[in-house]
Amino acid sequence: MNSTKRLSVIEALLFVTGEEGLSMEQLVHILDEPEAQIQEGLSQLSQTLEQESRGLELTIVANRYKLVTKRDVSEYIKRLIENPRPVSLSQAALETLAIIAYKQPISRAEIEDVRGVKSEKAIQTLISKELVKEVGRAEGTGRAILYGVTERFLTHFGLKSLDELPVIKTDLKDVEEETNLFYENIQQTLFE
Amino acid sequence: MEYQVKIDAFEGPLDLLLHLIKKLEIDIYDIPVAVITEQYLDFIHQMQTLELDVASEYLVMAATLIEMKSRMLLPKPELLFDEEMMEEDYEDDPREALIRRLVEYRQYKEAAEVLKEKEEDQAFLFSKRAHDLSQFEVEKKSEAPLAPTTVYDMLSALQHLLRKKHINRPLRTKIERQTLPVGERMRSILSHLRIMKSPQPFASLFPYPDRTHIVVTFLALLELMKLKQIHCEQEENFEDITISLNEGGEALEFDEETFRD
């Protein structure tokens, strides 16, 4: 198929699949073309949509390509909403979610250790919004529920994958190294 | 009082400590325990004068700080290496454990900030719901025996349904409130299944986008499952659940009174 035709097919497919979008595998399967060709079609579509006269853009979230409205038209979309509500999660929910995203699978007790406060309500909120799910049970007594993030988590924050999360020193070893540095400083001042 | 902050403004004692550390421009790796303890207790006392409930976690932290302060004043104990005392269990600075917790918590707090920004970024980018193409598909013959569904499958089906109904809600609706006893809903589900010669898709039993009706229907389904009048099946994960009458579930004997709301 020629590139013009390919462009229109991909656009139509992404229109039909809407928020669910399509993965590269699905596109390869449907168009029956090699990945390189599809890749080219996608980047052409993306460029076409980038023109200022177009209201949609191509995004990739959680490894799925989909069409979404452009940021600079959201102002007008908001006018469709009669009583807009705040969109953000609470601070407690955001913190809890951050801990789960970096440390999954993780139990409620471990989350509460990090935050220093009870987190049951925050976890329930996150589960009801399907951003977090049970991913198993801990070994040992009590078999505590372990939590992890869902694919919806990626969609909600517009992440391609978990790798897109900002790098933080989740490893306490790093923190320990920093603490050790501080001791060395202390000792230096003591023995000077 | 130079600052009047509500305790609600903090996510707990660690958050409050981080706030104080920032305010006093303290090096987190070298916390002056006396100063921070004083400031922390000050804050707690303010809360109490304002007659706000101080959560127990804050008091535990206050006790920890006071203990730390007194331990800092004591001369260092002689380090005795016996079998019971491994060197790594021994912290020679009482502040160490707290510093670690603060540093770790601070990282997740920063990560939460990043998430918040990303969330706001995403808030008004829309895509439309996917077209339902199932009407163009050939009815699938069920070959494999259906797996029994759990209450959790039912709950997740209900969650999806609620979201769908919410999104598809007409802009203005007026629903007359009326109480619907669970027992009555149980009867109507059974007769609906009999008329339709079962099995029926889960969603078809929730015709009204009304929370009360949805909840009552859900409870009725659970009751009917318990009474072995119906069974629910799900062909594959995330597929719609189907509800069928059980053989010999014709005559239903249950006490309406039990299910009065």
Give per-residue pLDDT as tens, B136-153.
877 655 555 556 667 777
**DSSP classification of residue B50:** T
pLDDT at B80: 59
d(CA B215, CA B182): 9
**Contact status of A190 with chain B (Cβ, < 8 Å):** no
- Is B130 in contact with A89 (Cβ distance < 8 A)? no
Of residues A173 and A81, more confidently modeled: A81
Of residues B108 and A188, more confidently modeled: B108
The model's confidence at residue A102, banded by pLDDT at 50, 70 and 90, is: very high
Chain B residue set in contact with A, beta carbons under 8 Å:
11-15, 29-30, 55, 57, 61, 93, 96, 99-101, 103-105, 107-112, 114-116, 118-131, 133, 159, 171
Are A103 and A170 a contacting pair, CB within 8 Å?
A: yes
% of chain A exceeding 90 in pLDDT: 60
- Is B119 in contact with A87 (Cβ distance < 8 A)? yes
Beta bridge partners of A147: A106, A134
Query: Cis peptide before A166, with omega less than 30 degrees from 0?
Result: no
What is the least distance, in Å, from the CA of A5 to any CA of chain B? Answer: 22
Instruction: Read off the pLDDT of residues B196-242 as tens digits, 9 standing for 90 and up.
Output: 876 888 888 887 777 778 888 888 988 888 888 888 887 766 667 88
Place of tokens 């007409």: B170
- Is B109 in contact with A157 (Cβ distance < 8 A)? no
For B109, which residue in chain A has the nearest alpha carbon? A95
Sign of torsion over alpha carbons B138, B143, B144, B148: positive
Q: What is the 3-state secondary structure of chain A?
A: CCHHHHHHHHHHHHHHHHHHCECHHHHHHHHCCCHHHHHHHHHHHHHHHHCCCCCEEEEEECCEEEEEECHHHHHHHHCCCCCCCCCCCCHHHHHHHHHHHHHCCEEHHHHHHHHCCCCHHHHHHHHHCCCEEEEEECCCCCCCEEEEECHHHHHHHCCCCHHHCCCCCCCHHHHHHHHHHHHHHHHHHHHC
* pLDDT for residue B252 is more than 60: no
Rounded to a whole number of angstroms, the distance between the first and last alpha carbons of chain A is 77
- Is B57 in contact with A118 (Cβ distance < 8 A)? yes
* pLDDT for residue B58 is more than 50: yes
> Minimal CA–CA distance to A111: which of A146, A142, A136?
A146
% of chain B exceeding 70 in pLDDT: 72
* pLDDT for residue B17 is more than 90: yes
Residue B200 DSSP SS3: strand
Q: Is A11 exposed, middle or buried (0-12, 13-18, 19+ CB in 10 A)?
A: middle
* pLDDT for residue A192 is more than 60: no
% of chain B exceeding 90 in pLDDT: 18
For B159, which residue in chain A has the nearest alpha carbon? A128
The model's confidence at residue B131, banded by pLDDT at 50, 70 and 90, is: confident
**Phi and psi at residue A135, in whole multiples of 5°?**
-120, 5
For residue B51 the two structure tokens come to 């007659």
Are A41 and A7 a contacting pair, CB within 8 Å?
A: yes
> Minimal CA–CA distance to B202: which of B183, B189, B185?
B189
Q: Quote the distance between the C-alpha of residue B108 and its chain's center.
A: 19
Of residues A7 and B1, more confidently modeled: A7
- Is B103 in contact with A69 (Cβ distance < 8 A)? no
Of residues A173 and A98, more confidently modeled: A98
- Is A181 in contact with B116 (Cβ distance < 8 A)? no
pLDDT at B1: 42
Nearest to A18 among B55, B57, B131 (CB): B131
pLDDT at A78: 82
d(CA B117, CA B120): 5
Of residues B254 and B111, more confidently modeled: B111
Nearest to A157 among B11, B122, B128 (CB): B122
* pLDDT for residue B250 is more than 90: no
The tally of CA atoms less than 13 A away on the side-chain side of residue B25 is: 0
The model's confidence at residue A29, banded by pLDDT at 50, 70 and 90, is: very high
Of residues B51 and A7, more confidently modeled: A7
Q: Quote the distance between the C-alpha of residue B26 and its chain's center.
A: 36
What is the least distance, in Å, from the CA of B116 to any CA of chain A? Answer: 7
The model's confidence at residue B132, banded by pLDDT at 50, 70 and 90, is: confident
pLDDT at B213: 81
> Of the ranges A141-150, A167-176, B230-239, which is most confident?
A141-150
- Is B123 in contact with A156 (Cβ distance < 8 A)? no
pLDDT at A74: 85
Average pLDDT taken over every residue of chain A? 87
Are B243 and B237 a contacting pair, CB within 8 Å?
A: no
Mean pLDDT of A85-100: 89
Q: Quote the distance between the C-alpha of residue A5 and its chain's center.
A: 32
**DSSP classification of residue B254:** -
* pLDDT for residue B261 is more than 50: no
Mean pLDDT of A120-125: 94
Query: Cis peptide before A105, with omega less than 30 degrees from 0?
Result: yes
Residues of chain B contacting A97 with CB distance shorter than 8 Å: 112, 115
% of chain A exceeding 70 in pLDDT: 86
Does the model's pTM come out above 0.75?
A: no
H-only helix segments in chain B = 13-23, 33-49, 56-73, 96-122, 151-167, 182-195, 211-226
> Minimal CA–CA distance to A147: which of A91, A183, A184, A104?
A104
Mean pLDDT of A164-192: 63
Residue contacts between A and B (CB atoms, under 8 Å)? 136
